[in-house]
């Protein structure tokens, strides 16, 4: 560990002395590549002001909310048309015929909503796959940075437990979560077409339990990686202090100077660690934020559509839209689960050992 | 003021049909059919702005499934009118068949929706 820190000394010192533009050229190629690939560097992030954030948020909202708002307008038009039509038919002579018209309007509502939902599913799957591929290349790089910072325990934890958990979470989301979501959407459609009460209730219960399960998994993962990080950090701190003490007391005359220089080197390396760790957070957030905003927008649209359908007396369409809103809620939960797993673990290892 | 015309026609038809039923029940049914057709035509004229509004809604949504919903509503409306006539004439069996035919016609009109639903379910589960 000490050898690693010593080996990184000239590079880190050079990085610290150079201006920010040319400074990253002194980093190892892999580290430099990771920092360059990020959509935003830690320095840019730190320099951003509130108007900059608001401007970026406005751009994202413009891009992400245009289609949901159009869908809401279409939904309102369709529901209003169905309400006008149903009000012309009397339900005293043939309630079954009127129920059939309600089914037809619910089917039209589902078909209107299914295309954006399929696109959203594909976008979520694509974001998870892209993040998985990035994590596979990022983890060894960040583990080497952690090792150079003297956090060997943290590096082992990151390249072992975190890497396995992140890959497992990504694979589970892609291979189990998304097919499960598609099945839930199909069940919601079948419930709307059949008019039975059982399927929507079952779908709502499954959605509730899935959210509960995801919350539990995120909490357990957070607790485990938090505890393990703290323990690993304690061991790393002891090793570092012992090393410094041995250097300071074991080598005559220049021992203290070397020990102090090593402290400076480690401080510089921690800056690099922050930059590299921030790169992953920036990549993950930039991959998932547009999908998250769209999910939130669609959830709001479906909730508003449910209100409109209930107000217009289209009961089946209302139940269908409530089911779709629940399904999009699971989209949001899955997305937040994955983002929290990756960002929390990385942030924890960036923050630990900075004291 | 179409509503006054419709109400007046309804009242005249009511008296006429009541008188006709005493002398010739067969003619009464035919007269009721003619009155219903006239009233539907008048109602359609009165509902022209509503149809224009529905067309505007259809254009706003830009969805190809609007046509199926409109067809289903129109079929249900016509089937219910004929069903009411049959029930008034005491032909409950015929009224039941009219309802069945109406349901079949609504299902037929919604067939593109069911096909699209099947395709979507296959895309979701496939």
For the stretch A227-282, pLDDT in tens is 888 888 888 888 888 887 877 777 777 777 777 777 777 777 777 888 888 888 88
Contacts of B84 in chain A (CB under 8 A): 93
Interface touch A108/B69, C-beta < 8 Å: yes
pLDDT band at residue A304 using 50, 70 and 90 as cut-offs: very high
Tell me whether residues A82 and B69 touch, CB distance under 8 A: yes
The answer to whether A46 and A275 have CB atoms below 8 angstroms apart is no
Across chain A, mean pLDDT equals 81
Residue A121 in this model has a pLDDT that exceeds 70 = yes
Q: Please, where are the H alpha helices in A251-314? A: 255-312
Rounded Cα distance between A350 and A343, Å, is 10
Which two structure tokens, joined as six digits, stand for B82? Answer: 């004929």
Q: Which residue has the higher pLDDT, A26 or A286?
A: A286
Q: What are phi and psi for residue B24, nearest 5 degrees?
A: -150, 90
Question: Can you tell me the distance from the alpha carbon of B102 to that of A337, in angstroms, rounded to the nearest whole number?
Answer: 50
Q: Which residues of A touch B60 (CB under 8 A)?
A: 73-74, 77
Q: What is the pLDDT of residue A75?
A: 85
Cβ neighbours, 10 Å, residue A354: 11
Asked if A141 and A31 touch (Cβ cutoff 8 Å), the reply is: yes
> Is A182 in Cβ contact with B124 (below 8 Å)?
yes
Confidence at A20, pLDDT banded by 50, 70, 90: very low
For residues A268 and A181, give the distance between their C-alpha atoms in angstroms, rounded to a whole number: 46
- Between chains, do A78 and B69 touch, taking CB under 8 Å as contact? yes
A108 contacts B68? CB cut-off 8 A = yes
* Residue A7 scores a pLDDT above 50: no
What residues of chain B lie within 8 A of the CB of A112, using their CB?
61, 63, 65
Q: Which residues of chain A neighbour B109 with C-beta distances below 8 Å?
A: 104
Cβ pair A104:B84 closer than 8 A: no
Say how far apart CA A126 and CA A133 lie, in whole Å: 11
- Encode pLDDT of A331-341 as tens digits: 899 999 999 88
CA distance A199 to A171: 28
| pLDDT tops 50 at residue A4 | no
Rounded Cα distance between A204 and B28, Å, is 55
The reply to whether residue A89 touches residue B107, judged by beta carbons under 8 angstroms, is no
Classify residue B62 by its DSSP letter. Answer: T
Residues contacting residue A53 through CB under 8 Å, at least 6 positions apart: none
- A178 touching B, CB under 8 A? no
- The reported pLDDT for the residue numbered A316 is 85
Distances from the Cα of A322 to the Cαs of A51, A303, A305, A318, in angstroms? 36, 6, 8, 6
The contacts of residue A34 (CB under 8 Å, 6+ apart) are: A138, A141, A142, A276, A279, A280
Asked if B116 reaches chain A (Cβ–Cβ under 8 Å), the answer is yes
CB pairs under 8 A between A and B: 130
Structure tokens at B125: 């589960």
Q: How far apart are CA A111 and CA A261, in angstroms?
A: 67
> What backbone phi and psi angles, to 5 degrees, belong to A259?
-60, -45
Chain B positions touching A94 (Cβ under 8 A) are 76, 79-80, 83, 99, 102
Q: In this predicted structure, what is the pLDDT of residue A212?
A: 92
**For A187, nearest residue in chain B (alpha carbons):** B121
Residue A8 has pLDDT above 80, yes or no: no
- Structure tokens that stand for B46 in this block: 């009165």
Of the candidates A223, A183, A174, the one whose C-alpha atom is nearest the C-alpha of residue A207 is: A183
Q: Between these two residues, B63 and A69, which has the higher pLDDT value?
A: A69
pLDDT value at A311 more than 80: yes
Question: Which chain B residues are closer than 8 Å to A79 by Cβ?
Answer: none
Q: Which residues in chain A have Cβ-Cβ distances shorter than 8 Å to B121? A: 186, 189-190
What residue has token string 């003490």? A245
The answer to whether B54 contacts chain A (CB < 8 Å) is yes
Angle at A320 between CA B111 and CA A76, to 5 degrees: 85
CB–CB contact A94 B99 (8 Å) = yes
Give the H/E segment covering residue A344. helix A315-351
What does the alpha-carbon distance between residue A278 and residue A347 come to, in Å, rounded to a whole number? 8
> Quick one: pLDDT band at residue A302, thresholds 50, 70, 90?
very high
pLDDT at A3 over 50: no
Percent of chain A surpassing pLDDT 90? 8
pLDDT of residue A353: 66
Whether the per-residue pLDDT at A22 is higher than 60: the answer is no
Q: CA-to-CA distance for A51 and B64, rounded, in angstroms?
A: 43
């Amino acid at each position: 560990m000490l050898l690693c820190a010593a080996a990184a000394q000239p590079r880190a010192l050079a990085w610290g002395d150079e201006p920010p533009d040319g400074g990253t050229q002194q980093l190892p190629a892999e580290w430099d590549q990771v920092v360059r690939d990020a959509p935003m560097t830690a320095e840019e992030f730190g320099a951003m002001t509130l108007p900059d954030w608001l401007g970026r948020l406005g751009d994202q909202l413009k891009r992400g909310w245009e289609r949901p708002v159009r869908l809401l307008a279409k939904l309102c038009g369709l529901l209003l048309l169905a309400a006008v039509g149903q009000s012309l038919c009397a339900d005293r002579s043939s309630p079954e015929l009127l129920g059939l018209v309600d089914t037809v309007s619910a089917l039209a509502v589902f078909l209107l909503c299914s295309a954006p939902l399929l696109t959203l599913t594909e976008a979520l799957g694509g974001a998870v796959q892209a993040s998985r591929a990035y994590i596979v290349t990022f983890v060894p790089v960040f583990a080497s940075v952690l090792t150079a910072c003297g956090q060997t325990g943290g590096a082992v934890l990151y390249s072992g437990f975190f890497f396995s958990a992140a890959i497992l979470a990504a694979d589970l989301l892609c291979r189990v979560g998304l097919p499960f979501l598609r099945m839930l959407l199909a069940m919601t459609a079948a419930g709307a077409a059949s008019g039975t009460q059982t399927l929507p209730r079952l779908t709502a219960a499954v959605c509730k339990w899935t959210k509960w399960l995801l919350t539990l998994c995120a909490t357990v993962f957070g607790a485990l990686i938090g505890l393990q990080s703290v323990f690993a950090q304690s061991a790393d701190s002891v090793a570092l202090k012992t090393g410094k003490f041995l250097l300071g007391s074991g080598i005559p005359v220049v021992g203290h100077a070397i020990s102090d220089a090593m402290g400076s080197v480690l401080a510089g390396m921690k800056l690099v660690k922050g930059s590299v760790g921030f790169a992953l957070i920036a990549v993950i957030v930039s991959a998932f934020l547009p999908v998250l905003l769209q999910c939130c927008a669609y959830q709001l649209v479906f909730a508003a559509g449910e209100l409109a359908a209930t107000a217009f007396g289209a009961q089946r369409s209302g139940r269908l839209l409530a089911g779709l809103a629940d399904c999009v809620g699971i989209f949001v939960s899955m997305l937040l689960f994955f983002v929290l797993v990756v960002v929390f673990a990385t942030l924890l290892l960036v923050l630990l050992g900075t004291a | 003021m179409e509503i006054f015309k419709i109400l007046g026609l309804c009242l005249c038809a009511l008296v006429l049909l009541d008188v006709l039923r005493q002398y010739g029940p067969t003619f009464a049914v035919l007269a009721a059919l003619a009155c219903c057709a006239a009233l539907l035509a008048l109602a359609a004229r009165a509902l022209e702005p509503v149809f224009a509004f529905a067309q505007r809604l259809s254009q706003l949504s830009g969805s190809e499934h609007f046509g199926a919903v409109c067809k289903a509503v129109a079929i249900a409306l016509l089937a219910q009118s004929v069903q009411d006539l049959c029930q008034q004439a005491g032909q409950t069996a015929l009224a039941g068949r009219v309802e069945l035919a109406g349901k079949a016609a609504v299902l037929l009109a919604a067939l593109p929706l069911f096909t699209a639903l099947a395709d979507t379910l296959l895309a979701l589960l496939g």
